[in-house]
Amino acid sequence: MNFTGKTALVTGSGSGIGKSIALMFAQAGANVAINDVSQKDADSTAQEIESLGREAISIFANVAVQEEVREMFESVKSTFGQIDILVNNAGITRDGFLMKMTEDQWDQVIDVNLKGVFNCCKFAARMMSERQYGKIINIASASAQMGNIEQSNYAASKGGVISMTKTLAKELAQFHINVNAVSPGFIETPMTEKVPEKVKEYLIQQIPLGRAGKPEDVGNVVCFLASDQAAYVTGQVISCSGGMYVLVYKDFMVTDLTTANLSQEIMTKAKAFGAGVSTGLVNDIPSVAELVSRIASDAEKIIQERISGLSRRIEPGVHERRSLRREGNTCHLSVF
């Protein structure tokens, strides 16, 4: 990919994923505007880009503040004369359980992660529409698609980014502006370095490819979407998670609903699909109705204690959910 003659603005590019994206654009010939709330980090990234023979400016701006964003875009235009590519990468976390989360924790994350994308897209669209050309790539998250404990604010903000991406793709298509999103999974960054080692090990176990992602993995996808090779791609959310966000569906029908035959019937049907099943799996559950009730009210406990072996044995990392529903004389156990 060749970005010679193009100008890219990457928010939150003083470190981590944003820095990697900025450097990859520069290596491919683009001039780059670096934005960060750390002037020191922004200056460092800009210096690295200049060492590659490309032009760069570093801009301190909080994307949640519209006036600062306006000034940032004016600075980019006065320096480079145009903006061809916007990557909305700036983001923060303020994790906490919902019942203990403060209003300030909620507001900070929504302001930076969602309002920040709105602010930047607004000013970028005005500039890009004048030239009838532009590429906007928003960085979302697998948390928006899967949910994540203690991240109701973060998941909501990134879910909003995904919805905004699809809407803006339709609004801005008339100006030949492509709008897409990249949804990273667990990526090695300064932010994830703070995650406890045991938690990292658990997260990596959930990834089919068996490793954490690198910032360059995300950068490669972003560069493709910013290139003319993706001219016919818009409104899309590209997952870059090593397979963390995957759905697999199997439906096992149980036609004999008597308690005595339920366990054997499930095992027989499940084995036909190549599933691994534990013997005596549901022998101690009095009725189908109670099994359905238990799964509905305490799904995780039932999954672990009662039907842990009743899913298709697939590679570690696939996100699984199970449900059991009754329709007349048929009971459906779904693993997806």
Rounded distance between C-alpha atoms, residue 194 and residue 192, angstroms:
5
DSSP 8-state class, residue 43: H
The Cα diameter of the chain in Å comes to: 78
Residues 6 or more apart whose CB falls under 8 angstroms from that of 334 comprise 249, 250, 251, 252, 322, 323, 324, 325
Rounded distance between C-alpha atoms, residue 255 and residue 298, angstroms:
24
For this structure, is 154 an active site residue? yes
Listed residue (20, 42, 46, 11) closest to 31, CA to CA = 46
For the record, the structure tokens of 211 come out as 């490793």
Rounded distance between C-alpha atoms, residue 1 and residue 227, angstroms:
7
For the record, the structure tokens of 9 come out as 């603005």
DSSP 8-state class, residue 330: E
Rounded distance between C-alpha atoms, residue 153 and residue 143, angstroms:
10
**Marked catalytic residue, from 154, 232, 245, 249:** 154
Angle at 312 between CA 310 and CA 317, to 5 degrees: 110
Listed residue (154, 180, 156, 159) closest to 94, CA to CA = 154
Length, in residues, of the chain: 336
Give residue for tokens 């780059």.
32
**Which residues are marked as active site?**
154
